[in-house]
Structure 1
Amino acid sequence: GERIGGLQKSSGGPGSSVKYYYCHRTTYIRGRSHATTKLSNYFTTNIKSYRISVGENRFPSVLSSNPMVHHHIHILAICLLILLTTSDILALDPYKILGVSRQAELADIKRAYRKLSKKWHPDKNPNNEEAHQKFLELSESWEILSDTELREVFDTRGEEGLKRHREGGGDQGEGFDFFSQFFGGGGGGGGQGRAKKNAKKKGQTMVTDMEVELEDIYIGRSIDFEISRRVLCPACKGNGARKQTDITECETCGGQGVRIIRHQLGPGIFQQMQMQCDACGGRGQTIKHKCPSCNGHRTVEEVNSLTLDIDRGSPDGHEELFEGEGDEGPGYSPGDVVLRIRIKKQADGGFRRLEENLYWKEVLNLDEALLGFTRKITHLDGHDLTVSRQTVTQPGFVEVIEGEGMPRHQALGYGDLFIEFSVVFPLEVSGAFRTGLDKLFKPYRTLDDHLNSKTSKPKDGKNHLEL
């Protein structure tokens, strides 16, 4: 780069709007207002103008005269610039992302999340980076607003307060973790480490089946249902005691929840075993007076109301996930509920499904099979199909109507409808009906006699039809 006064000017590369000015002891970074940096795929920020100065006394002259030192200083300055630029910027507003008000009830938030997550789910939008990003934002927003504690922190202290809350309250955890990503250092990340350490374990996933009608899947219906689950006792907040002062440290195990038992097997030979404390049941605490609501069990049973939004064309056995709607307990967050959709077995008649196609059996009378017919079939969503044939229909004949099958799951278009015809013959033919049929079929019998008269008997004694 060119020299300007006592400073060396260096460009950030072709097309770059950031230039660096440096001398031996002081480093400057000046960014034009149009420079844009995309961070974490969540937001962008315009770099206005920053000046980062490295004090003279921090770098000896021997080091500052080394070009490699300047190079590393520039990288460090850029990282620090990005950190300063993004520290107070918030792009994730869970209320706006889910399209709900700040006063919205949890049920409304849940409904909005499910609707939008289905729209932007990666399975429905393959190779769509925007949809993938939207889905991540929706998941993050739901995680915040579905947790009472996190939502309160966000409402009162904003994104920055939420960040500190997740990191355990540290102000520098984010910064050190940021630099460790660039330089591979192991000294930072304290906040993140604490967050992982303090994170609750998740409860077990509940899996249950629900039978639905075929028309529910064809239409894509919403079905309300209820499940029973265990939640923390609201009276004692999951500690099992009538009041906080009723909880004391177990004297038997000293609050460890386990006891060490030592056996002597022989002279100088000992066996040491660790066993759960019988006095406190492994909790490390004893309760003087139990909570009257849960009787010390710390959890109570609750009936949870949920809504299943069926995707059109969902396959039999398709699973819908309800995050955080399962059992909750002390020391672990609510588990998930997986609802497996099963199609009710159809009685004789009606539509049957095979993957994306539908099958229907239509029964014809003898006269319809011979003379033709026009029939109407009411489809699963109520619209009528007209089926017409003016020729002879053989029993077992199958007609295919394209595009009248099941909706394709998470794709465009429909499968086909297969209509199989069967013919009902009269159980008995007598009287005038028999006489009429006899007259009707007499010309055909005459034709048969004529064909039989054209047969010859060769030497082998067998009849052969003359063609």
Structure 2
Amino acid sequence: MAFIDYYKILEVTKNATENDIKKAYRKLARKYHPDLNPNDKEAEQKFKEVNEANEVLSHLENRKKYDEYGEHWQQTDAYKKAKQQQKQYAQQQTSQGDFGGYTESDFSDFFGSMFGGGNAKGQNRQTKFRGQDFNAQLQLNLKDVYTTHKQTLTVNNKSIRITIPAGVENGQIIKIKGYGGKGVNGGPNGDLYIEFSIINKSRFKRDGDNLYASVDLDLYKALLGDEITVNTFTGKVKLTVKPETQNGTKLKLKGKGFPKYKKEGQFGDLYITYNLKTPTKLSNKEKELFTELSKLR
């Protein structure tokens, strides 16, 4: 396996900070994104390489392993575990006066085989190890997660089509089994963990399954009562305003909130808060009428 210089791909130095890597990734991801480079195979390959480099270097622990072990960074956990087992086994056999038929060179052959070296005798005793888990972040708009939909991701040069359930929350992590690093010596693949970053550009505030919004209400409708039309996440609804409605009055629209995660057909509620708007630029006649009203009170 040829060595891949992830720092070179992201056009940063080995001393780059976490923020430097994040900025470099965003810049290059935009530059080579398939939507901006349709039918450009070279840009598509660059986009995949940039994503792969970011998956490694943006993860502190993975970056540390990569800096130390290079192309073999995904096998470091398995290597350390096996080396510890070898040490314990060697100590046990030494205390018994023998190595049970194994020599120090046998163990060296075993560890060498993990990294592509070693002789045939060591390779005959290769142990299977699970592949490294991968971590990725998927950025979506709030409206994208209002309904269940499918999306294709490119992770480690692989296209993965996943179903995103309605109602996923910002920061939520889901596991895609078997889409991590390749197993060693025929071992199982690692898993892919996807963290959702939900951007809310709507006028609604989300809290779990519930939505919150403020609606301006003019003084006359608040005093006398009326019907108004308000926006929900999926459309408009009519509301009846009771006479003498006070500023800050809250009401609940049942089932007009956000979908409940993996609960088909179930929704949270929408909470509306009225903000009374005091009229401005009153005419002389209006001032007179308000003056009369004040005297009546």
The alignment's TM-score, normalised by the length of structure 1, stands at 0.33
Higher strand share: 1
Q: Which has the larger radius of gyration?
A: 1
Higher helix share: 2
The alignment's TM-score, normalised by the length of structure 2, stands at 0.50
